[in-house]
Structure 1
Amino acid sequence: MVSFLIAYASWSGNTEEVAELIEETLHQEGMNVTKHRIGGGGPIPNPGEYDAMLIGSFTWDQGATPDEVKDFVADIGYKPEPVYVFGTGDTQFGGDLLFCNAAVKLARFYQSAVAPLRIEQSPRGVQESKVMEWSKGVLEHWRHLHELKC
């Protein structure tokens, strides 16, 4: 069975809500999903044991990536493939230029083939469908990669 790792950091709960919606969408598509809260304790999962990794982060302090996310990336010690990135942010802190900048930087670092999902604060309301569509796009991209390898 295809398995995905969703690793995320969340303080206010917004990024966690996005992770849960992604998990639900991938489950509905028949995928096995493991969630790991970055900085939540417990052993760090090995992304190599999964078919793909999705990493999520909120943006902190004028466009910065939280230290616990940086530590998670460093602790993994390599760049798994493929990696898909999602993030939450707030345009009132830095405007469009810094909006979800942590997700943008992570996507660049991992050379993600799918544009990062960027959610304004909570995924509730109209943004919920944005999360589900992005998740289905990730799955479509993964399936396409898998077909190329076969």
Structure 2
Amino acid sequence: MASVFIAYGSTTGNTAYVAESIQRTLKQNGHEVTIEDVADINVAELTKPYDLCCLGCSTWGDDEIELQDDFIPVFEEIENIDLAGKNIACFGCGDSSYEYYCGAVDAIEEACKNAGATIFTDSLKIDGDPKSEQADIDAWAQDLIAKLNA
């Protein structure tokens, strides 16, 4: 059984829905999961001894990448901590009609790599309503499980 930490920033509830779906699937498969709204944590949480940290953030903005407001303070501190040896997986919601579709996911992933983290799997990017993308969310969670069990 692996220990997984999920932190998410969600304004409209879409990214929270994705985080809760991932949590449910991981728990149903015997993994220990801690889930937090990113507004309730500080960046040091990512250094705790979890087997995997999943970070979820929605993306706003058409002219530039804008992270969900609550995620900004944690994002700004990521490169100031040591994530060497940490497994990170990123997910988020966005709108593919924007130039920087799910750009927050890419920015968070890059910051984690720069802090020494290992990217555990390809990121999950949800276009629009996550309820219509449930199969993709479930498949991504199953991929996490397969890698955690390997």
Q: Could you say whether these structures have the same fold, taking a TM-score greater than 0.5 normalized by the shorter chain as the test?
A: yes
**Equivalent AA in structure 2 for residue 20 of structure 1:** E
Q: Secondary structure at the match of 2:66?
A: coil
TM-score (norm 1): 0.81
TM-score (normalizing by structure 2): 0.81
**What are the superposed Cα offsets for residues 68-119 of structure 1, whole Å, 9 maximum, x if unpaired?**
323114178332610000010012333xxx1111112222332414111000
The alpha-carbon deviation at position 45 of structure 1 amounts to 6.7
Contact 2:5/2:54 (CA < 8 Å) preserved in 1? yes
Measured after TM superposition, the shift of residue 67 of structure 1 is: 4.7
Q: Which residue of 1 is the match for residue 116 of structure 2?
A: none
Q: Supply the distance in 1 between the matched residues of 2:82 and 2:72 (Cα, whole angstroms).
A: 13
1:124 match: secondary structure: helix
CA shift at 1:25, angstroms?
0.8
* 1:119 pairs with one of 120, 126, 129: 126
Matched, 1:83 2:85: no
Task: Specify the code of the residue in structure 1 equivalent to 2:54.
Answer: L
Equivalent position of 2:73 in the other structure: 71
Q: Output the CA distance in 2 between the equivalents of 1:123 and 1:60.
A: 16
- CA separation of 1:83/1:123 partners in 2, compared to 1, >3 Å: closer, same or farther? same
CA RMSD of aligned residues (A): 2.2
CA distance in structure 1 between the aligned counterparts of 2:19 and 2:6, rounded to whole angstroms: 7
Contact 1:38 1:72 in 2 (8 A): yes
| 1:101 maps to 2:103 | yes
Aligned residue in 2 for 1:132 = 138
In structure 2, the gaps of 5 or more residues are: 114-118
Deviation at 1:4, TM superposition (A): 0.5
Identity of aligned residues (%): 25
Letter in 1 for 2:139: E
Q: What does residue 148 of structure 1 align with?
A: none
